[in-house]
Amino acid sequence: MADGAFPFPEFTPEVEAQTAAIRDKLRDKITPLEWRLQAPLIAEIQALKRERNAVVLAHNYMTPEIYHGVGDFVGDSLGLAIAAARSEAKIIVQAGVMFMAETSKVLCPDKTVLMPDLEAGCSLAASITAADVRLIRARFPGLPVVTYVNTTAEVKAETDVCCTSANAVAVVEWAAREWGVDRVILLPDEYLARNVARQTNVGIIAWKGRCEVHERFDAADIAEMRRAWPDAEILAHPECPPEVLAASDFAGSTAAMTDYVATRRPRRVVLITECSMADNIACEAPETEFVRPCNLCPHMKRISLTAIRDALREGRHVVEVDADVASRARLAVQRMIDLPRPERPARYDLVRAGHAVDVELI
């Protein structure tokens, strides 16, 4: 019996034929024994999606059998929010964490959004409440509040505009222009705020939230990588501490890292982020060698093929967001979506040049 409510389906010749193309892609990532367990689940999920008019939105941190096997849309949190807004399916299954499922529900109030595991949270989303945001706003009247999408719907409802790591600099600069101010409140990730501050002249007021995965990297890790693999190109996520970014060759969202590898095709690369990123990109970049000093996100890793299959089969767990909260949060998320997506993480050259403007920490 599997860890979900239903037994594993069988690995039949039909299943083998239906999943052969995915198997080819994952050949180096999954052993034949694992494949005999995973392929029937993939085939069952594909059939359930067709039957129920459902799509799976899979974040870049999903394991390869989810990302390549059942994801209809894959990408970073900005890309998934845009995909949810455009989707014509009746049901969205969020293969990611709770704040992403809430964002989908906020953008698509008429669709059913299913979350395979309700415990898949995020340390950043847990770091701040709507009441905190109201207090911060009262302390800094007239300043726009920008929140990272890694927050609850209640927090988004208290804010002016959302951002992701892909567009944080652009959103902060937009908010400063729109409000006619030279300072912006950027919540709740302290390191993202510090990294944005280094790329703009807009003053940043920040909160002390941290990503429990990315805060564990430090500058000594990067120095060690450089010594061991001097020719490797080092790519870091903006949720890492600023000294990590300053020592890296490139910083960007999970999608920006994917683009970097796809377009520049480095011989050897180090991804300073969650473990599944490298596995997923490596399937499509056979000429690049990936060094993997990764950290696991325990929340993302709660999502499995079994949990996705059970979510579709049982219609669980339905994500609900209070209608008033959703309509206020939608404004903040939609404002972000309506801004053009920056092509490259802007102004990263300023980080390298040591433009070390500090933040005001609340």
Query: 76 or 190: whose CB is closer to ligand 13P?
Result: 76
Burial zone of 102 (CB within 10 Å; 0-12 exposed, 13-18 middle, 19+ buried): buried
Q: Which does 248 bind (CB under 5 to 8 A by kind): ligand SF4, ligand 13P, none?
A: none
Q: Which does 253 bind (CB under 5 to 8 A by kind): ligand 13P, ligand SF4, none?
A: ligand 13P
Q: How far is the CB of 331 from ligand 13P (least distance, A)?
A: 20
CA 245 to chain centre: 18
Query: 39 or 251: whose CB is closer to ligand SF4?
Result: 251
Q: How far is the CB of 275 from ligand SF4 (least distance, A)?
A: 10
The token pair at 161 is: 């505009």
Query: 40 or 71: whose CB is closer to ligand SF4?
Result: 71
Q: Quick check: 199 and 172 in contact, CB under 8 A?
A: no
H helices of 27-126, in order, are: 32-52, 64-67, 77-86, 98-107
User: Which residues pair with residue 114 across a beta bridge?
Assistant: 93, 318
Q: Quick check: 169 and 115 in contact, CB under 8 A?
A: no
Q: Which does 76 bind (CB under 5 to 8 A by kind): ligand 13P, ligand SF4, none?
A: ligand 13P
Q: Which does 44 bind (CB under 5 to 8 A by kind): ligand 13P, ligand SF4, none?
A: none
User: Which residues pair with residue 82 across a beta bridge?
Assistant: none
Q: Which does 165 bind (CB under 5 to 8 A by kind): ligand SF4, ligand 13P, none?
A: ligand 13P
Q: How far is the CB of 56 from ligand 13P (least distance, A)?
A: 16
Query: 122 or 325: whose CB is closer to ligand SF4?
Result: 122
Query: 160 or 239: whose CB is closer to ligand 13P?
Result: 239
Q: Which does 299 bind (CB under 5 to 8 A by kind): ligand 13P, ligand SF4, none?
A: ligand SF4
Q: Which does 77 bind (CB under 5 to 8 A by kind): ligand SF4, ligand 13P, none?
A: ligand 13P
Q: How far is the CB of 59 from ligand 13P (least distance, A)?
A: 6
Query: 212 or 289: whose CB is closer to ligand SF4?
Result: 212
Question: Measuring CA to CA, how many Å separate 251 from each of 65, 88, 167, 281?
Answer: 27, 33, 12, 16
The token pair at 90 is: 């009746």
Q: Give the interface with ligand 13P as residue ranges (CB under 6 A).
A: 60, 76-78, 150, 164-166, 211, 239, 253-254
Query: 22 or 211: whose CB is closer to ligand SF4?
Result: 211
Closest to 186 measured CA to CA, from 211, 163, 205, 160: 205
Q: How far is the CB of 86 from ligand 13P (least distance, A)?
A: 18
Q: How far is the CB of 235 from ligand 13P (least distance, A)?
A: 12
Query: 39 or 244: whose CB is closer to ligand SF4?
Result: 244
**How far apart, in whole angstroms, are the C-alpha atoms of residue 116 and residue 122?**
15
Query: 302 or 313: whose CB is closer to ligand SF4?
Result: 302
Closest to 75 measured CA to CA, from 300, 210, 277, 271: 277
**How far apart, in whole angstroms, are the C-alpha atoms of residue 351 and residue 226?**
19
Burial zone of 126 (CB within 10 Å; 0-12 exposed, 13-18 middle, 19+ buried): middle
Q: Is the dihedral of CA 126, 83, 59, 312 positive or negative?
A: positive
Q: How far is the CB of 92 from ligand SF4 (least distance, A)?
A: 18
Q: Which does 308 bind (CB under 5 to 8 A by kind): ligand SF4, ligand 13P, none?
A: none
Q: Which does 246 bind (CB under 5 to 8 A by kind): ligand SF4, ligand 13P, none?
A: none
User: Which residues pair with residue 290 across a beta bridge?
Assistant: 269
Q: How far is the CB of 68 from ligand SF4 (least distance, A)?
A: 20
CB atoms inside a 10 Å sphere around CB 353: 11
Q: Quick check: 57 and 80 in contact, CB under 8 A?
A: yes
**How far apart, in whole angstroms, are the C-alpha atoms of residue 13 and residue 139?**
65
Q: Give the interface with ligand SF4 as residue ranges (CB under 6 A).
A: 97, 122-124, 150, 211-213, 239, 274, 297, 299-300
Q: How far is the CB of 165 from ligand 13P (least distance, A)?
A: 4
CA dihedral 210, 294, 280, 69 (to 10 degrees): -80
